[in-house]
Amino acid sequence: MSKETQPLLEMIGITKIFPGTVALDGVDFMLRRGEVHCLVGENGAGKSTLVKVLSGVYPPEKGEIRLDGEEVKVRTPFEARKLGIEIVSQEPELVPEISVAENIFLGRVPKISNGSFVIDWHALSDKAEQVLRSCGFDIDPRQHVSELSTSNRHLAAVAKAVAGDPKILILDEPTAALGGKEVEALFGLVKRLVAKGTSIIYVSHRLEELFLIGDRITVLKDGKRVSTEDVKTITQKELVKLMVGREIGKQYGSRQAKIGQEILEMIHVSDGKTLKDATLTVREGEVVGLAGLVGAGKTEVLKSIAGASKVEAGEMMIFGKSRVPRSPREALKMGVGYVTEDRKHLGLVMNLTVGWNILTSVLPRLCRHGIIQYSQCNKVINDSVSSLKVNPPEPLKISGELSGGNQQKVVLGKVLAMNPRLVLLDEPTKGVDVGAKEEIYGIINRLAESGVGILLASSEMPELIGLSDRIVIMRDGTTVAELAAEEANEEAILRSAIGG
Amino acid sequence: MVGKQTWTKYTALLGLIALTAISAVISDHFLTVSNLFNILRQVSINGLLATGMTFVIISKGINLSVGSILALSGVLGALAINAGQSIFVVILICIGVGCIAGAISGFIITRGGLEPFIVTLAMMTILNGLTLVACDGRTVILTRRLPALNNIGNGYWGPVPIPVVIMMAAFLIASFILIYTPYGRHIYYTGGNEDAAFLSGIPTQNVKLNAYVISGILAGLGGLLYLGRLGVGEPTAGGGFQTNAIAATVIGGTSMAGGKGGAWFTIIGVLIIGLIDNILNLMNVSPYIQDVFKGLIIISSVYASRKR
């Protein structure tokens, strides 16, 4: 076989076992030179595990990895890097309190001369600037990573990986935290890298993206490879069918909710910072969508209602009374539940079990004479796990070991255990696979049917349009427009969100 | 379902069993009732301090000032006795000192947002200074006998030494709080992920503050036991107590990363340290070398529990 036709990477019969689950079961994966190979599958299908095996995070139990036809061992991320494999994971692994430039060259900082150990700060800064410019990212290399926005932090992580000049670049859910402009910059970069001969493994839940930049798609399901397809010969519908093993019909489901009284009214609310002027209402049984670009203030609206940020000006009516919760505790007592966007840092206690996480807020209610009644606790947990279809349905499982979609269900379970009458959802399906998404949509519909009012912030427009009764659009910290479900379409929303 | 107290980490328990077996083989004297109660009495003060430390460490904090609280409460207790106060006042003073010191540390840590390590380190220095001021740098010798006090330090309840009874009571109450009350569980959430806990409606600041108060109260109680046992107010009594308390907690398996552990873990850690001291004593090993052993045991036990 000549060097051109020989695949760059072959993973053969990869098996990875975690206590209790077979995460990968004899998976074969082949990567060609200069292709974008997408990896899709439901949560828990084994996508992240597979790329982590390749990048040396999880050594596999069985199987072999061949690079350029030669067998290699990838036991640590360091070894992976030496072999020319770079990964940008879902949570960018950067050191917050040092500059972007130092992060980009972490472990390979330029020295003033060969063999010296004195850092050449000028060269570092210049080189970092070059890397960022060639990536097409608008980031100042002198800034500390902690000062960057979430999306720029992700882009900095991409730049760091690219700076290593990898043969194989792995992008794990790279666009989950990016806005439209940044996604464009990233896609531009991917195309330039591929033209240079770099091979890219692209993991994403956003199927539309795969058709924009992918060459081939490998579908994983339950730790096994289902098939590998050419992007040109498969449709999105067929792909979904392969992923879930069935066709997804009405993804967003339907509901017969009776819309009742107003339970939330915000009038010119401002937090004195990002949130400038929010005016909106939510009624019983109603799903109100909150649209806007990254940084438009969607999260800040939810935080101000949930008592997680200070309200500086404006008026708020919650359940008919004029009041502003001063803490999440107060908000919960009123009946306001808040599901945060950042599951890992703000949602769950990852080293506690699923059961304990579900009980987080509700414990004081499960007491008699100040003593926790464990029989009641178990009932709450079992109800929650079975009605939300947490998979695996094991309350004793450590939350950090669940897939993203199931973690999200646990967060929902925690909030719903309090029986809130107003639920605030911030990107509830971020990083969640198609199957779990559908289940979460079902949960939202059932909640609305039971009379709960829902305020849903999302950057996925089909989701907003599919679920909401009304959509409120934000721009620059201000609510600028409102569309009824019938008149909402992506174009109209985007026009208001961008302005002009 | 929720796994009330996870006994998944058997490493410390296995270590304790192994140590007991080794000790029994090495010394004939070891497995006698009097020696076993002797060990329990020797660990009782550390048991109190470590129990309090467990609350603090689960909340992802640390309290370096417990030894100093012990010394100050002992000295003030002794001065109160010499001033003619009753045993109730003495108990109140000892516990009150711990309560106030813990509350101040906790207040500064939560409201000021400062690192627990720094705050309690400073508190340790402050309390050491206050102790020396109070007793003018000298050991306070009791000028009158207080039988009740002597009883607390040296008495027996049936065959069981009173300090052991006090320690066991503290352990049981602490376990109860940690397992059966919302406050106890809230410490785990706070230590595991403070931001998530706060957004879930847990009053994380009060949870942490209370952990320092509990730790302080138990350290003050430790000071009372120390005073009762030795019959003097010793200003330099505190040295080494905080390291032993932290060591026992960590050896037991309570994680410095927060959110994990429990009083039952700590009791095992306390016993392991006590056993090591006891067996080395029985073998006539120099007390200086004993500290070296203790350090090695800490490292190896944490290493053993590193992976579950």
Q: What is the DSSP letter of B160?
A: E
A151 in the same domain as A70: yes
The answer to whether B96 touches B213, Cβ cutoff 8 Å, is no
Mean pLDDT by 10 residues, chain B (308 residues): 48 85 88 90 96 97 97 97 95 97 98 96 97 95 92 92 96 96 96 95 96 98 96 90 92 88 92 88 84 82 65
CA within 13 Å, CB half, A143: 13
Does A407 reside within a domain? no
Structural domains in chain B plus CATH codes: 11-16+32-304 (1.10.3470.10)
Contacts of A347 in chain B (CB under 8 A): 196
| Interchain pair A355, B186: CB under 8 A | no
Residue A4 pLDDT exceeds 80: no
Q: What is the pLDDT at residue B8?
A: 46
Q: What is the mean pLDDT of residues A6-18?
A: 91
Q: Which of A340, A351, A418 sits opposite B199 (nearest CB)?
A: A340
Say what percent of chain A tops pLDDT 90: 65
Does A359 reside within a domain? no
A447 in the same domain as A304: yes
Q: What is the pLDDT at residue B56?
A: 98
Q: In 3-state terms, what secondary structure has residue B140? A: strand
Residue A25's nearest CA partner among A60, A70, A56, A77 is A60
CATH number, position A449: 3.40.50.300
Does A413 reside within a domain? no
Instruction: Chain B: give the shortest CA distance to residue A363, in Å.
Output: 6
A155 in the same domain as A24: yes
- Residue A359 phi/psi, 5-degree rounding, is -80, -5
Contacts of B179 in chain A (CB under 8 A): 372
Q: What is the pLDDT at residue B6?
A: 46
Q: Whole-model pTM?
A: 0.80
A270 in the same domain as A236: no
A286 in the same domain as A240: no
Which tokens in the block code for residue A313? Answer: 């000006």
| Interchain pair A349, B189: CB under 8 A | yes
The H or E element that residue B37 is part of is: helix B33-58
| Interchain pair A381, B200: CB under 8 A | no
Residue A249 pLDDT exceeds 80: no
Q: Could you tell me how many residues make up chain B? A: 308
Summarised one tens digit per residue, pLDDT across range A402-418 is 888 899 999 999 999 99
A269 in the same domain as A228: no
Interchain CB contacts (distance < 8 Å): A and B: 95
Q: Pick from A214, A244, A274: which residue ends a domain?
A: A244
Question: Is some CB atom of chain A closer than 8 A to the CB atom of B189?
Answer: yes
The span from the CA of B53 to the CA of B102, in Å, is 11
A137 in the same domain as A237: yes
Residue A416's nearest CA partner among A357, A477, A499, A492 is A357
Q: What is the pLDDT at residue B3?
A: 46
The answer to whether A341 touches B150, Cβ cutoff 8 Å, is no
Q: What is the pLDDT at residue A113?
A: 81
The answer to whether A94 touches A159, Cβ cutoff 8 Å, is no
A279 in the same domain as A232: no
A316 in the same domain as A226: no
Average pLDDT, chain A: 90
Chain A residue nearest residue B199, CA to CA:
A328
A321 in the same domain as A183: no
Which tokens in the block code for residue A180? Answer: 């439209």
Instruction: Chain B: give the shortest CA distance to residue A177, in Å.
Output: 20
Could you tell me the CA-to-CA distances from A153 to A95, A159, A459 in Å, in that order? 10, 10, 18
Helix/strand/coil (H, E, C) string of chain A? CCCCCCCCEEEEEEEEEECCEEEEEEEEEEECCCCEEEEECCCCCCHHHHHHHHCCCCCCCEEEEEECCEEECCCCHHHHHHCCEEEECCCCCCCCCCEHHHHHCCCCCCECCCCCCCECHHHHHHHHHHHHHHHCCCCCCCCEHHHCCHHHHHHHHHHHHHHCCCCEEEEECCCCCCCHHHHHHHHHHHHHHHHCCCEEEEECCCHHHHHHHCCEEEEEECCEEEEEEEHHHCCHHHHHHHHHCCCCCCCCCCCCCCCCCEEEEEEEEECCCCCCEEEEEEECCCEEEEECCCCCCHHHHHHHHCCCCCCCEEEEEECCEECCCCCHHHHHHHCEEEECCCHHHHHCCCCCEHHHHHCCCCHHHHEECCEECHHHHHHHHHHHHHHCCCCCCCCCCEHHHCCHHHHHHHHHHHHHCCCCCEEEEECCCCCCCHHHHHHHHHHHHHHHHCCCEEEEECCCHHHHHHHCCEEEEEECCEEEEEEEHHHCCHHHHHHHHHCC
Residues of A with CB under 8 A from a CB of B: 306, 308, 327-329, 331-333, 338, 340, 345-353, 355-356, 359-361, 363-364, 367, 370-372, 374, 377-378, 381-382, 395-396, 414, 418
Does A433 reside within a domain? yes
Q: Pick from A210, A244, A278: which residue ends a domain?
A: A244
| Interchain pair A377, B1: CB under 8 A | yes
Does A390 reside within a domain? no
Q: Pick from A244, A270, A301: which residue ends a domain?
A: A244
Does A162 reside within a domain? yes
Chain B residue nearest residue A375, CA to CA:
B1
Domain that holds residue A97: 9-244
Count of structural domains within chain A: 2
Q: What is the pLDDT at residue B4?
A: 40
Instruction: Chain B: give the shortest CA distance to residue A148, in Å.
Output: 20
Number of H helices, E strands in chain B: 13, 4
Residue A499 pLDDT exceeds 80: no
Q: Which of A329, A352, A382 sits opposite B259 (nearest CB)?
A: A352
Q: In 3-state terms, what secondary structure has residue B135? A: helix
A190 in the same domain as A106: yes
Instruction: Chain B: give the shortest CA distance to residue A185, in Å.
Output: 33
Question: Is some CB atom of chain A closer than 8 A to the CB atom of B229?
Answer: no
The span from the CA of B153 to the CA of A208, in Å, is 75
Q: What is the DSSP letter of B156?
A: E
The span from the CA of B73 to the CA of B78, in Å, is 8
Chain B residue nearest residue A393, CA to CA:
B1
Q: In 3-state terms, what secondary structure has residue B203? A: coil
Residue A221 pLDDT exceeds 80: yes
Q: What is the pLDDT at residue B9?
A: 58
A51 in the same domain as A121: yes
The span from the CA of B264 to the CA of B15, in Å, is 14
Chain B residue nearest residue A344, CA to CA:
B196
Does A25 reside within a domain? yes
Does A35 reside within a domain? yes
Most confident region among A100-114, A177-191, A296-310 by mean pLDDT: A296-310
* Radius of gyration from C-alpha coordinates of chain B: 19
Instruction: Chain B: give the shortest CA distance to residue A359, in Å.
Output: 9
Q: What is the pLDDT at residue A236?
A: 84
Residue A162 pLDDT exceeds 60: yes
ipTM > 0.90 (yes/no) = no
